[in-house]
Amino acid sequence: MIDDNDNNEMQSLITFDRVLFGGRRKIRLSQKELAVELSDRTHQIDHITYSKIENARIDIRSSEWDWLIPKLSYQLQIDKRWLQAIREQTAVKSILPNVDYLRSTTWRLKCQK
């Protein structure tokens, strides 16, 4: 019998940042090259901002990024509705260390050295 907890641990989450990374690699463009392709007269995106999006450091769910979804869909050849659904379920990744780790004995011992 398989425990449900084991199944949950084995599941992989599809996130917006992973989709972007895989799609960009598939079309063989750098982050800088893709950022240029996504920019137009009304919307500009530099490679630094694109990198933050691809690494889930910007909340892509914000309405200020609505313009980007059709452009990404076209460039990466991904269904726009599917990309939008993935966007809505993807949260920003924290850059702060894991709190449980900071509270652990291991971390305290490393700090004492």
Per-residue pLDDT at 8: 44
Specify whether the CB–CB gap between 93 and 56 falls below 8 A. yes
Residue 7 included in any domain: no
Residue 86 included in any domain: yes
Per-residue pLDDT at 2: 43
State the amino acid at position 28 in one-letter form: R
Residue 2 included in any domain: no
d(CA 92, CA 35): 20
For the chain, the domain total comes to 1
- Burial degree of 69 (CB within 10 A; 0-12, 13-18, 19+): middle
Q: Specify the CATH number for the domain of residue 30.
A: 1.10.260
Structural domain harbouring 19? 12-112
Specify whether the CB–CB gap between 9 and 28 falls below 8 A. no
Residue 19 included in any domain: yes
Q: How many CB atoms lie within 10 A of CB 77?
A: 10
Lowest mean pLDDT among 51-60, 62-71, 100-109: 100-109
Specify whether the CB–CB gap between 84 and 19 falls below 8 A. no
**For 57-85, what is each residue's pLDDT tens digit?**
999 999 999 999 999 999 999 999 999 99
